[in-house]
Amino acid sequence: MPILPPPYLDTVVALGFPGTDDKPKYLATAFLVGRPLPREKRGAMARYELFLVTNKHVLEGEKSMTIRFNPDAEGAAREFAIDLAEPVWFGHPEVDIAVLAIQAPRLVQDGIRFSFFRCDTQVISLKRTAELGLGEGDGVFVLGFPLGLVGEHRNYAVVRQGAIARIRDTIAGNTQEFLVDATVFPGNSGGPVVSRPEFAPGVVDGPRGRSYLLGIVASYVPYRDVAISQQTKRTRVVFEENSGLTAVIPSEHIVKTIDEASEALADQRPVESVAIDDDEVVTDHSASPARR
């Protein structure tokens, strides 16, 4: 049995931006998160609004982008162009998170293979992280497309293992990011960070035996070395290296941004949602009535 839940790989997509040859250059990562509809609006099955999540710095200043999905059947990855000239994405006011509403029925109609992190069962806050006893030394997975390694034929996310390096100060409210001991590179920006489930006796069937979305990659933490002139004693060159530590924005900021985006869109469009039955996306992908 895989340690990382296989559907988590289908939450991750590659983001491309215009290149010199009119072909998209894949420079960042994004992933899908589902916001549950209230019970009175979802019917017999759980229904979720879908949002694409990435970093603000990935989208700022861009006029267009390409989202690369895998088809449900065999075949090459599909590319979808998104016009960013209009304000279609929502950014968190304080941290490096941006979200974009995704029309779930369109993905189904186009035969796209996808999954998403569910806010009510697979996304946990810092408070819940502390309640579960997750902390420094516990394992994590970082998913994404470093260095443009998206896969020649289809999206194949790169998965790296690491560990929570420091989180107590974030839980205490002293900082908005926590650190993981995992090396990331350009292209990992906007990728999900999930907890590594434990399979020890008495744990496997409990909450610690599950994998949760902990946050989103913000950036690597740089290490700077300075070359000093022996003659003038002044700085001549500054070298910046990857320290191997990664700054991660906690998932509650993702949920907050999605909630605010959903409310802002409520009077502008119908709430396009996707239904879930027995942990599987089903073909009942109709639009719920717009909220007023």
Domain regions of the chain by residue span? 6-288
What pLDDT is stored for residue 139 in this prediction? 96
- The helix (H) or strand (E) run that includes residue 143 is strand 139-144
Distance (Å, rounded) from C-alpha 113 to C-alpha 75? Answer: 11
Cα dist. 191→91, 162, 184, 196, 205 in Å? 16, 14, 10, 16, 27
115, 108 Cβ separation under 8 angstroms: no
What pLDDT is stored for residue 234 in this prediction? 87
Residue-wise pLDDT for 213-270, tens only, equals: 999 999 999 988 888 888 888 888 888 889 999 999 999 999 999 999 999 888 776 5
What's the token pair of residue 121?
A: 């069962």
What pLDDT is stored for residue 55 in this prediction? 98
Mean pLDDT by 10 residues, the chain (292 residues): 89 92 91 87 78 96 94 92 89 96 90 95 95 94 96 94 97 96 96 89 67 96 85 83 95 96 79 62 42 27
The sign of the CA dihedral 20, 21, 27, 32 is: positive
Distance (Å, rounded) from C-alpha 289 to C-alpha 100? Answer: 20
Residue-wise pLDDT for 147-175, tens only, equals: 999 998 999 999 999 999 999 999 999 99
Residue whose C-alpha is closest to residue 9's, from 142, 163, 99? 142
Q: How, if at all, do strands 287-288 and 271-277 pair? A: antiparallel
What's the token pair of residue 190?
A: 């906007």
What's the token pair of residue 261?
A: 């985006």
- Domain 6-288 architecture: Beta Barrel (2.40)
Residue whose C-alpha is closest to residue 217's, from 255, 262, 187, 252? 187
What's the token pair of residue 73?
A: 């059947």
What pLDDT is stored for residue 292 in this prediction? 24
Distance (Å, rounded) from C-alpha 205 to C-alpha 201? Answer: 9
What pLDDT is stored for residue 104 in this prediction? 87
Kindly give, in sequence order, each residue whose CB lies less than 8 Å from that of residue 235, ignoring residues fewer than 6 positions away.
Answer: 226, 227, 228, 229
**What DSSP state is assigned to residue 232?**
T
What pLDDT is stored for residue 287 in this prediction? 42
What's this model's pTM, rounded to 2 decimal places?
A: 0.88
Distance (Å, rounded) from C-alpha 227 to C-alpha 238? Answer: 6
CB neighbour burial string for 204-237, b if at least 16 within 10 angstroms, e if fewer: eeeebebbbbbbbbbbbbeeeeeeeeeeeeeeee
Q: How, if at all, do strands 24-36 and 117-118 pair? A: parallel
